[in-house]
Amino acid sequence: MRLIRLKEVIACTGLGRSTIYNRVAEGSFPRPVSLGGCRSVAWVHEEVMGWIMARIEERDALGAVVAAA
């Protein structure tokens, strides 16, 4: 298991800091893991990659529905 910091999450997703934390708050993005400090957190790399793959699968499923129509 690999943990990634916010800078890498931003680079992987293309989302901004505020958007990431807003989506975490609404439950639509993986929650960060506390690294023991007051404000030190990281995300599980596999969870972030899973979130990205889910977005790709949603896009592909929508494309298949549109193509079938």
Separation CA 21–CA 32 (nearest Å): 9
Q: What is the pLDDT of residue 68?
A: 65
Percent of the chain with pLDDT over 90: 84
Beta strands (DSSP E) in the chain are 3-4, 33-34, 41-44
57: confidence class by pLDDT, cuts 50, 70, 90: very high
Across the range 14-41, mean pLDDT stands at 96
